């Protein structure tokens, strides 16, 4: 019988909210297995940085969200800069969580994923046939981009609710979008709450799909010094 063997890269990775540079270095120097461990523990579990001084508020938000969009609160988590305190996105790498940040909510619910996926496919068909038409300008650009990326996302086991226009023909997506708007407004009014730019939901089919996608994203993370070069 052999003892558990913790990798050298994870052995000293002890902070609940590591900096973006620390995460990037582990992602560069560590293995795919270590990136998966990072995705499972640091990016999906525990109290997010944004709620470190008021963890009860985070749990109340999950309870409320679960009741509004009809999924189990345990199927709701938070990623992005609100999770670690700094952004890992290439265009915002290292920027701290602030009122200009988004709340990047994640749900892991086969039911919600299936419902939003079906509405996306319905919308994509409506868009392609001309039954649904975007406003000219930014909306038209977004629609074209969403229609292009959405099928690949669904194949990989997730879909962004914002990919589906907020129109009466797509009631589940409308319900989620309205809930996100109310969440942002309620946070502003709450004692111990805060302001954010907006809130979005990415719905996953399963935890395996979540971990695979986060691991893929982590493999592309680079520390600030490399971005500067």
pTM of the model as a whole: 0.93
Burial class (CB in 10 A: 0-12, 13-18, 19+), 12: exposed
Distance CA 102, CA 117 (A): 23
**Pick from 12, 7, 2, 5: which is nearest to 31 by CA?**
7
Q: Where are the domains of the chain?
A: 16-228
Distance CA 99, CA 43 (A): 21
Reported as a single tens digit per residue, the pLDDT across 11-55 is 888 899 999 999 999 999 889 999 999 999 999 999 999 999 999
**Pick from 113, 194, 184, 188: which is nearest to 153 by CA?**
113
Reported as a single tens digit per residue, the pLDDT across 190-220 is 999 999 999 999 999 999 999 999 999 999 8
Contacts of 41 (CB under 8 A, 6+ apart): none
102 DSSP β-pair partners: 198
Q: Which residue has the higher pLDDT, 226 or 92?
A: 92
Confidence label for 70 from pLDDT (cuts 50, 70 and 90): very high
């Amino acid at each position: 019988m052999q003892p558990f063997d913790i990798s050298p890269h994870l052995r000293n990775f002890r902070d609940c909210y590591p900096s973006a540079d620390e995460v990037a270095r582990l992602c560069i120097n560590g293995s795919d297995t270590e990136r998966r461990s990072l995705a499972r523990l640091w990016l999906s579990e525990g109290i997010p940085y944004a709620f470190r001084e008021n963890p009860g508020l985070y749990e109340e938000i999950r309870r409320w969200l679960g009741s509004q969009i009809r999924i189990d609160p345990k199927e709701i988590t938070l990623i992005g800069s609100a999770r670690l305190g700094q952004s890992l996105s290439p265009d915002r790498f290292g920027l701290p969580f602030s009122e200009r940040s988004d709340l990047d909510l994640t749900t892991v619910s086969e039911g919600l994923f299936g419902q939003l996926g079906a509405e996306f496919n319905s919308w994509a068909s409506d868009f392609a046939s001309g039954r649904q038409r975007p406003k000219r300008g930014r909306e038209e650009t977004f629609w074209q981009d969403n229609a292009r990326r959405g099928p690949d996302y669904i194949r990989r086991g997730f879909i962004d609710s914002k990919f589906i226009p907020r129109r009466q023909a797509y009631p589940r997506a409308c319900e989620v979008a309205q809930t996100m708007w109310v969440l942002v407004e309620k946070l502003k009014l709450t004692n111990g709450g805060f302001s954010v730019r907006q809130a979005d939901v990415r719905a996953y089919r399963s935890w395996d799909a979540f971990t695979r996608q986060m691991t893929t994203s982590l493999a592309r993370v680079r520390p600030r010094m490399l971005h500067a070069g």
